[in-house]
Amino acid sequence: MIYEGKLLQEGKFVVHTSYFADHWFVFNTVSGELKVGSYRYEFENPKVLELGGGVMLDNAPELIADAFLYGPKLFVISNVGEKEYPEQRVLDIYDLETTNYIKSYILPKLQDSAPSEGFYIESDRIGLRYEDYLYFLQLE
């Protein structure tokens, strides 16, 4: 349950990003290698509670809002804000080959909302969904 998340595929990579744990997994379908990557933020795994014959997570915050792939890169819209920008979400980029962190971008609040989903559209631009709007941002 703590590994609930999103399954993505791009070329030879199959990636699972976890909403509640602080790591993600990448499987290379060509080499058969499985690697574990870590988000920039370290958190303890949430506790799983048994209630009435079922299970649920105990006050587990979602660490990521969305994830998407483009080529050999993982893009994560993080729910964990930077200290200087506590109310803004962050776009973190990771290398799928090495699982290394590459770079982050602070995402602007637009129309009084934060981005909830993203997609890659071309070499240096991404699309982000903010509630009822789509915005296209240029990456440096």
Residue 1: the pLDDT is 65
Taking 50 as the pLDDT cut, the residues of the chain under it are none
Residues 6 or more apart whose CB falls under 8 angstroms from that of 10 comprise 69, 70, 71, 72, 96
Residue 53: the pLDDT is 80
Question: How far is residue 132's CA from residue 44's CA, in Å, rounded to a whole number?
Answer: 34
Return the structure tokens found at 107: 């995402």
Residue 51: the pLDDT is 80
